[in-house]
Each structure stands twice: as structure tokens, then as C-alpha cells.
Copies of this chain bind each other. A is one copy, B any other.
Amino acid sequence: MNNQVKIAVLGGGSWATAIVKMLSENIATVGWYMRSIYAIEHIKRNKHNPNYLSSAELHPEQLDLSDDINSIVENYEVLIFAIPSAFLKAELEKLTISLKDKIIFSAIKGIVPETGLIVGEHFHEIHKVPFKNIGVITGPCHAEEVAMERLSYLTLACQDERKAEDLSKYISGRYIKTKISDDIIGTEYAAMLKNIYAIAAGIAHGLGYGDNFQAVLMSNGIREMKRFIKKIHKMKRNINNSAYLGDLLVTGYSIFSRNRMFGNMIGKGYTVKSAMLEMSMVAEGYYASKSAYEIKEENGAKTPIIDAVYHILYGKKEAKEEFLKLTNKLN
């Protein structure tokens, strides 16, 4: 156990809970901010999060729980954000303390809807955190399998690789292996884009396409992802590494993925609005498809799958017809 390092997790969802569990295996005290005082009290009394990942056993004696984001930010050096991107801006507006000297790792997969920025850029542009202090934690990783202590591989990316290495010591363990990367832009965009492809996989399934087509869709998806990311940040990267292809697969092939489920409803004929109401939450890929579409309109990347999802979700196009057109663009 190491008592020196001051690491906190911000967020109360499944992924936040999973990261707290990983850290608790290695460090004596983990800071943990979440909004719900009810959930905090429940964790203290019952040793598990009442709402998310409730199968994971937590150790309250190791947790410095607080519903005050400022006290957590003040007291910790490394801040791991795992707040859904749709709520991030509002949460950060509560801050009275500057983030600029903190080390920020984002475990958020998506776009900040209000600014259209990926999370790392949001921290940099809005909160003046230098890029060398911003990192990304990415899968392939379902939080549920962390709760079950099933072997998972995470990629920690930071321009300053040493910071990723430092954090990796406290994340790695019996059931977590970590890999270090300096491709913060690529890994973060991959994590965002994969949700769009998961929506596409869901739409295809909802429309009655089978496994043969899904394999073609995913194989086109990873090629499209490579083209997209290359336009934004050209560097030597193997798109088949776990942080890109692995993350795409674990989401695209998961029947538990919220994005896939959302797509499935659209494919089955739900309107966007009714699918959202039915799910009582917003799939990250919904925002991501709009941002990704706008970005590719600027940089000219060829993205037939993103285009189809965008036209269906934002252009009121029929899923059936858009996918019929899409099938002629895939190979």
C-alpha cells in the first residue's frame, strides 16, 4: 500500500466505481467525489454503490467520500474524471479552485455537448490545464467485468508518458493490466468514435442484419476510424491495438452497450426521442455522431458509417434506407 500518492475519482457511475475498486487494491486512501449524498451514505453503511455496479464490494475505510467537488479537488493531486460527458460542464462550473496545477486523467468517452470538444481539449481550453498534465484512461473494459475481477487491459495515455506510467502502478493489479501510450488524441477520439459504431451495430441488428454483416460493419468501422483519426492527428499508431480496435470490439459486440441498445431501438423503428425516453438516459454516441460529423465535414475524412448514423439521428432519415445506401459503400 502506498500512502503518498493522492488520487481521487470524480463521478458516481459504474466506470467511476470500477476505477475506485482498482485503486483501492493498491492505495490506502482513495478520494471519491459524487453528487449523491444518499449514495455516499449507502456506500459507507453497505459497502457497495446502490445505483451502479452494485455487485462490486467497496471498502469504506479506504474511501474519502465527499459530495463537495471543491474539497476533493483541493485535497488531491491526480484527478480521474468519470462523469458522463453530458454532465461534465455543469459539474466543473461548481469549481472555485483552479485545475491548472492538477494532473487530470479522463475516463470519459465522448464529447462535451456544449462545447463540441473532446474531454481533454475541454480541460485544456476551458480550464487551462496544460496538455502535459492531461491523460486518458481507456479500455476495452466493461465496468461490470472489473466488478467480477475478470482480467482486463487498460491503456493509459499521456503526452508525458511518465505520468501515465506513475498512475499505471496504482491501477494495475491481479485482474488489471495496463499499457502506456503517448497518443492522447488518438485514444480519446477512438473511445468517442467507437460509440457511434456501436450505435450503427445496434441499428443494423434492429433492422434485421445478421452476424455476417456485423463483421463487415466492424471491419469497415476500424478502417473508417483510422482515416478519421489520421486527419486530426497524424502519427505512427497501430489502429489494431487494444485501445482502438479492442475498444471498438468490446462495445460493438456487447449486447449490454447502451449505445448499441439505443441503435437497436432506432433500427426497430423508435424515434430518437422515444428511444431516449425509453432508455431514460442518453447514449454518448448520440452527441458523438453530431460532433464527428461536423469534424469530418471540415477535414474531409471519408466516413460513410458516421454519415449514416448522423443522418438517421439528426436528419430524420429512415434507418432502413440509410443502411441500404450504406451497404453499397462498405466492402
Contact = CB atoms under 8 A, between A and B. Distances in A.
Most-contacted residue by chain B among A212, A219, A247, A253 (CB, 10 A): A212
Contact of A240 (B179, B211, B219, B254): B219
A238 interface: yes
A191 to B, nearest CB: 13
A208 interface: yes
Given A179-B331, A330-B153, A215 B239 contact: no
Interface string A198-233: 000000000011111111101110110010000000
Nearest to A141: B212
Interface stretch (A65-73, A111-119, A144-152): A144-152
- Counted per complex, copies of this chain come to 2
A327 interface: yes
Contacts of A42: none
A215 B150 CA distance: 13
A331 B253 contact: no
A211 B248 CA distance: 12
Contact of A151 (B212, B250, B253): B212
A28 to B, nearest CB: 27
A142 to B, nearest CB: 6
Interface residues of A, number: 42
B215 A250 contact: yes
A216 B242 contact: yes
B247 A150 contact: no
Contact of A215 (B177, B211, B242): B242
A55 to B, nearest CB: 13
Given A223-B238, A238-B223, A331-B177, A246 B150 contact: no
Nearest to A323: B151
A-B pairs with lowest CB-CB distance, top 9: A215-B250, A140-B215, A219-B246, A150-B210, A152-B212, A215-B246, A215-B249, A145-B210, A219-B245
Given A140-B219, A223-B241, 18 more contacts: A139-B215, A140-B215, A150-B212, A151-B209, A151-B212, A152-B213, A153-B213, A211-B254, A215-B253, A216-B242, A218-B246, A219-B241, A219-B242, A219-B246, A219-B249, A220-B242, A222-B245, A226-B240
